[in-house]
Amino acid sequence: MAALSGHTIERMEFRKTTRRYPRAVGWNAQRGPHGKDQDVHACRIFTDQGASGWGFCGASEEAPRRLIGRKLPDLFSAETGADFEARCLDIALHDLAGRILGQPVWRMLGARAGNRIPIYSGAIYFDDLNPQGEAPGVERLIENCRQDAAAGHAHFKLKIGRGAKYMERAAGDARDIEVTRLVREHFPNAKILVDGNDGYDPAGACRYLDAVADCNLYWIEEIFAETEDGLRVLREAIRAKSPATLIAEGESRHGRMQDPAGPLGKWEESHVDELIALGAKKLIDVLLMDIGAMGFTAWRSVMPKVQAAGAQGSPHAWSEPFKTYYAAQLGCGLGSVPIVEGVFGTVDGVDASGYTVKDGMLTLPDAPGFGMTLH
Ligand SMILES: [Mg+2]
């Protein structure tokens, strides 16, 4: 790209700041509580031509600093993203390139889905439970849905799998059904997504699906640790009981950690190939690899294969609001992202007001790069 070619990375600034949720987030089938505030790190890059861009990144300054003095086109291409050696600045380099080119990232990626994308609230956990004290009950969970609806959400992802760890199996399974039905009753037009965090087995998943078949679930995410045989059982049950429901998989690496990070970040390439192959067999509809841990550039490289398999993607975005925005930029740019995971909250010193949520749709800013300001 001619416009990027005259720039050399001249210096960097690193910042530690704090992400804050509007309410504390509790438990899912595997772990909790997920808390309220968290340290996060950002890096701003400056070029010798006076351009700058920034992004959230890891805590280490060592790897990014090694890129000072390098020519921008040797590290980044608008067509393919960050070179492997520059992945530590994947987000900041996309922001920088967008600012130099005068384009929002979603447009730089192709604007295949415009600048608006459906979003769900990803912050409804086991809000009826408190394994460390008095249980607030299901009314609290509905209150939290209402709080998110007041913030512009229309769709909700419910954590299920209470019977895996935090309740007796039968009582937990019954509560999952009760909560699903209750949210459907209170929000008749909502897309309801459910996420088991692998807290069921295939037979239990089928029993759950049978009990909520009339709730018109939008998707079922990681209800058990995926196997081809298990997914075939689930697909059959969906065909019979709830044919519009999507199967979403691929957030969990099941201990298969790529370390050090490879071309697909912390995902083994063979694992992603297997997930895409399951997509081609119509056993997974939506792939969920994390926008941060797999990476923005990695998702750009994987999405064409996902599309060729006839599947879709929705990069996992918990636990940071900015990950929602990055996933949405990717989805609007490349298409094939039916809905993004909404993570609520703010980050001290960051103005993300260009992103707005209304009636279950996230609208992206027209501003260059990711359209967020770091003060
Ligand atoms: Mg999940």
Condensed to tens digits (0 to 9), the pLDDT of residues 18-40 reads 999 999 999 999 999 999 999 99
* Number of CB atoms found within 10 A of residue 177's CB: 17
3-class DSSP state of 373? strand
CA of 13 to the centre of ligand 1 (A): 33
Paired sense of beta strands 246-249 and 219-221, if any: parallel
CA of 293 to the centre of ligand 1 (A): 14
* Number of CB atoms found within 10 A of residue 181's CB: 15
Q: Which residue has the tokens 């600012």?
A: 99
Give CA separation, 199 vs 30, 195, 204, 211, in Å: 7, 9, 9, 17
Give CA separation, 168 vs 127, 130, 139, 174, 259, in Å: 17, 14, 20, 10, 36
Cα separation, 346 vs 19, whole angstroms:
6
CA of 323 to the centre of ligand 1 (A): 14
CA of 251 to the centre of ligand 1 (A): 6
3-class DSSP state of 206? helix
Question: pLDDT truncated to tens, each residue of the chain (375 aa)?
Answer: 459 999 999 999 999 999 999 999 999 999 999 999 999 999 999 999 999 999 999 999 999 999 999 999 999 999 999 999 999 999 999 999 999 999 999 999 999 999 999 999 999 999 999 999 999 999 999 999 999 999 999 999 999 999 999 999 999 999 999 999 999 999 999 999 999 999 999 999 999 999 999 999 999 999 999 999 999 999 999 999 999 999 999 999 999 999 999 999 999 999 999 999 999 999 999 999 999 999 999 999 999 999 999 999 999 999 999 999 999 999 999 999 999 999 999 999 999 999 999 999 999 999 999 999 999
Closest CA to 220 of 153, 273, 159: 159
Residue pLDDT, tens place only, 182-206: 999 999 999 999 999 999 999 999 9
CA of 62 to the centre of ligand 1 (A): 31
Paired sense of beta strands 286-287 and 312-313, if any: parallel
CA of 308 to the centre of ligand 1 (A): 24
CA of 290 to the centre of ligand 1 (A): 10
CA of 222 to the centre of ligand 1 (A): 7
CA of 367 to the centre of ligand 1 (A): 30
3-class DSSP state of 252? coil
Residue ranges per structural domain of the chain: 2-103, 116-374
CA 232 to chain centre: 25
CATH class of the region 116-374:
alpha beta
Q: Looking at residue 223, what DSSP letter applies?
A: S
CA of 356 to the centre of ligand 1 (A): 23
CA of 372 to the centre of ligand 1 (A): 26
CATH class of the region 2-103:
alpha beta
CA of 195 to the centre of ligand 1 (A): 5
Q: Which residue has the tokens 């192709």?
A: 110
Q: Which residue has the tokens 């920088």?
A: 96
CA of 201 to the centre of ligand 1 (A): 16
Q: Is pTM beyond 0.85 here?
A: yes
Closest CA to 95 of 108, 83, 79, 111: 108
CA of 221 to the centre of ligand 1 (A): 6
Cα separation, 116 vs 275, whole angstroms:
27
